[in-house]
Structure 1
């Protein structure tokens, strides 16, 4: 199973805990079930405990202690905030990991003598802590308790999926406590939850069967009969389930609204009223993920006011959605890591049988044709700015979308502030006009990114198409050269294919100092003349060469008489001590003019003429 997501067994365990929470009212029974399930699926856990903060005693009280403990003694321990691993997680309001005996011992040193004595009596003498995870139970941004897992074996280490599970279990425990309070306060409303239990069971089945986010949204929509919109952590619409009456205009309005509210969510849910097209809706926004790591929000638009039990049931559904989002994100990140490692190795040119086999496992045909693209991003105001993971993740999705086609596929991976994409083309795809097609796709991608992120400058370098994986690294080197050229030299468009490079390849092979030396040698007197007299000889020469030395076309383009042009050309020959009809010096002049036009900082030429 992949490293950063929950295992199938853990996911089933979490669903079982959810069902227990929905089917039992006794909070102590629920806590016992939570600890049983958690310890059973976390291999490194030899014991565990759930602590709830008691306002009257101002202490954390152990409500469940299982595993290698004597519960009747352990439950006598009462911790203040900041005391031991559990108290530290409570104070920090975040998951804390104590990886080894040294860290655990240091944390245990904060125990009061009485609590230390109780702890020593509660654990068999032949066992001692080797590592500990403590995760807070947060309710509406407030820490109300802690779940702690303890390991007693050096050979067993907690894993990232164990931490993910414990954080998810903490969310479930918070829901359980909130629901327990609702049950106690409103017995009449409890009976209404039977419907919510059925919803949750159906949601659980969808998750186990791998149906995905949209199926979950459709189920909730069909059950409650209201408009639902799911937004990610930066307010982008990820999925929706609405009646046909919900127009495109209303969707666009909610997209704009979500960008404001999702980024400022502080509580588990907010309730307000909103007017769209003269219709008033009750708007409920439910947060996804945790306060420390938001995954976005679920927005419900309802004509009728929703009661607390309905909202609590939806919050529970949000737990399932959050888990699915975490799973999708973990799968995406793992795929990115695996493909990124492959693409990075591929671009080094070190091809061997192991890499070829890995290519086949990742669905890369060694005999297909390949083109490397580099999409470079820079902030218009701050070139050194490093973009956040969520921006790069969105950009990666955008790169993957427009480049896909029936006879092609794309693999895009992050490389600092740029994305490296490998375009795979079926071996039967003709190379005829393929460069133009790829450039057109690149232009569409560039426009799409600019429309979404106006503050980002996008440059795209495209290597030449190569037959087979063994030559892919050459295309990558070419794309890199294109990006280098776009960064260092003046170029009207921010998309450049290596196929289009002519004299520019000469530029890439030399330092700017060497290029300036060459320009000075060939054009220096003319540039100096222009700087001192602000004439039009240099621009005339550029147009003359662009028009293939055609006198009439050049004169028409400059809007001057042919006699005037002839005079200017004669003056240019005098200044440069050359004959524009002599092919050898003309070649050097033509080359120097081309390079001169690409030099961004032409003022640097002044030092050669001063």
Structure 2
């Protein structure tokens, strides 16, 4: 290298140093270094610069000059091609002939020699190549390679020293740029964290205000929906909506969520973290609502195909805690009210009505002089639910019955005890159809759940007589236990004298039934004539043959013939009061003991 060339090289290094310390743009400084290096070497007319991606274990092209970009390898594994081999060997190399190049790339047969052309017209293989590593803090971070395609000059060791010096500057520039990028990133993250913290403090303060203003679930859900800009719905653990934001009225969880293993994990283990649940393109963010170590329900966000940010997720978690507090508060108020109602109910059953009990009844909107009756509801949840879900179903049934009484404007109280729910109803003296209404209420309660049985006592005047209705309803359950019936509701008034008869031993009842009905049962068994069914319908429709025929979908004459035939076989006169009573009683007892439909 002559004096002029050395001077030019030193000026290049000085100029590089000045530019590196003044530039903050990593891409610009790398392009500048590569172009200046090519310019300073008489034997160089092209070059590439690769940086190492440690995470992917690959060299990525960062800058090039003198090449058609389409022909260059954008990503090179260590040990592949010139730059990859230099990186893998951690050793600089000078190649001054095509023969040396062929020898050098033997280790990478997948890269043909043709790849070393520049992809330009009248191109040829490089006559000389020089490649060295970019090193900072004893760590190789990349490779710079320069090529000579057109000149009949070779690279020297002095050229390599200059290239190494330029590579050191490039490494410093990259390190400096990365440090500045990291610093900017950390500053930005700190600013974002500060903003997020301020936003969360604002959200917490607003939720605290909601609690103090006692706006209940609507206030909590509407504010959360405002923060996250998506609909929100609150569910109990049976996945029945408890409340929703104004924009969440039409939102529904997919049925498949019930079969989702993560849901079962929530119910079983009361997990506390937010769960994203995806169905096709839709995503649902579900946060458990837990109070006093008890899973109360789920708070669900419906963002559609969008995601929730970290602040939004924190807001959802905080809203779940606030919802749990509101839930527990409402439960505490409800339980306190229920205790007071239970005290009144059990006090009235004693039959001793004092001034204190009368005042207690008045506070609950009851007049002790009105008519009172008892409906008993026996819970029989036989589904394989967890105890948590079973408790939720029982709680729902209780509140549904309370809601039912309110819907029908019926004065009453509802008291759960073990596997029973006692419903005490009250009707003013002026009500003429109170007994009919109490039966109707019993039938409505039966529609609330298929796993319950109901008995209804009669109405009695004055709260002091409540125990009579209670005893009647209880006796109906004793009959049900002894003689399970198809019907899930029995009212004491309908039983009439049967409540006395059914207290007899089963053998005695069967003997009575055989005495009256055996000839008819034998005839039906032989002829399959359907006489007993027709007779039972005849009793149910109060001897109206037209209604019997319509109900059984048979001709009037057929119904008439069957009744007359039954009368003949039984040797009973259906027009005789005593005979007809015996036939009615025997048929009803047969239906009850044998669980026929309608009994």
Residues 374 and 473, structure 2, Cα contact 8 Å, conserved in 1: yes
Matches within 5 A, 1:462-473: 462-473=456-467
Alpha-carbon deviation of 1:348?
Answer: 3.8
2:221 aligns to what?
217
Distance, in Å, in 1 between the alignment partners of 2:532 and 2:505 is 24
Alpha-carbon deviation of 1:300?
Answer: 1.7
Q: Deviations over 1:278-319 (max 9, x none)?
A: xx4553222221694222221122364323233224323322
Q: Is residue 460 of structure 1 aligned with residue 454 of structure 2?
A: yes
Alpha-carbon deviation of 1:375?
Answer: 1.7
Distance, in Å, in 2 between the alignment partners of 1:184 and 1:499 is 79
Distance, in Å, in 1 between the alignment partners of 2:293 and 2:226 is 31
Q: Aligned in 2, Cα 1:346/1:533: closer, same or farther, shift over 3 Å? A: same
Q: Is residue 475 of structure 1 aligned with residue 487 of structure 2?
A: no
Q: Is residue 326 of structure 1 aligned with residue 324 of structure 2?
A: no
Residues 284 and 300, structure 2, Cα contact 8 Å, conserved in 1: yes
2:496 aligns to what?
502
Distance, in Å, in 2 between the alignment partners of 1:552 and 1:360 is 51
Q: Aligned in 2, Cα 1:203/1:424: closer, same or farther, shift over 3 Å? A: farther
1:239 aligns to what?
243
Q: Aligned in 2, Cα 1:328/1:537: closer, same or farther, shift over 3 Å? A: closer
Residues 481 and 508, structure 1, Cα contact 8 Å, conserved in 2: no
Distance, in Å, in 2 between the alignment partners of 1:552 and 1:255 is 48
Task: Compute the RMSD of aligned alpha carbons.
Answer: 4.1
The SS at the match of 2:348 is helix
2:22 aligns to what?
none
Alpha-carbon deviation of 1:269?
Answer: 2.7
Q: What are structure 1's unaligned runs of at least 5 residues?
A: 1-181, 451-455, 603-610
Alpha-carbon deviation of 1:239?
Answer: 1.2
Q: Is residue 297 of structure 1 aligned with residue 291 of structure 2?
A: no
Q: Is residue 284 of structure 1 aligned with residue 279 of structure 2?
A: no
Distance, in Å, in 2 between the alignment partners of 1:554 and 1:284 is 58
The SS at the match of 1:269 is coil
Residues 439 and 497, structure 1, Cα contact 8 Å, conserved in 2: yes
Distance, in Å, in 2 between the alignment partners of 1:286 and 1:431 is 52
Q: Aligned in 2, Cα 1:254/1:571: closer, same or farther, shift over 3 Å? A: closer
The SS at the match of 1:327 is helix
Residues 498 and 585, structure 2, Cα contact 8 Å, conserved in 1: no
Residues 408 and 426, structure 1, Cα contact 8 Å, conserved in 2: no
Aligned residues: 400
Alpha-carbon deviation of 1:258?
Answer: 6.5
Between Structure 1 and Structure 2, whose CA radius of gyration is higher? Answer: 2
Residues 460 and 494, structure 1, Cα contact 8 Å, conserved in 2: yes
1:65 aligns to what?
none
Q: Aligned in 2, Cα 1:185/1:316: closer, same or farther, shift over 3 Å? A: farther
Residues 534 and 562, structure 2, Cα contact 8 Å, conserved in 1: no
2:342 aligns to what?
340
The SS at the match of 2:367 is coil
Matches within 5 A, 1:438-587: 438-450=438-450, 456=451, 458-489=452-483, 491=485, 493-524=487-518, 527=521, 560=558, 569-573=567-571, 583-587=577-581
Pick the aligned partner of 2:311 from 309, 312, 323: 309
Distance, in Å, in 2 between the alignment partners of 1:461 and 1:580 is 31
Residues 286 and 298, structure 1, Cα contact 8 Å, conserved in 2: yes
2:14 aligns to what?
none
Q: Aligned in 2, Cα 1:308/1:540: closer, same or farther, shift over 3 Å? A: closer
The SS at the match of 2:447 is helix
Residues 541 and 548, structure 2, Cα contact 8 Å, conserved in 1: yes
2:276 aligns to what?
272
Alpha-carbon deviation of 1:586?
Answer: 4.6
Q: Deviations over 1:370-406 (max 9, x none)?
A: 3321122224579xx9983222111101111122147
Q: Which structure has more RCO (C-alpha within 8 Å, separation ≥ 6)?
A: 1
2:369 aligns to what?
367
The SS at the match of 2:192 is helix
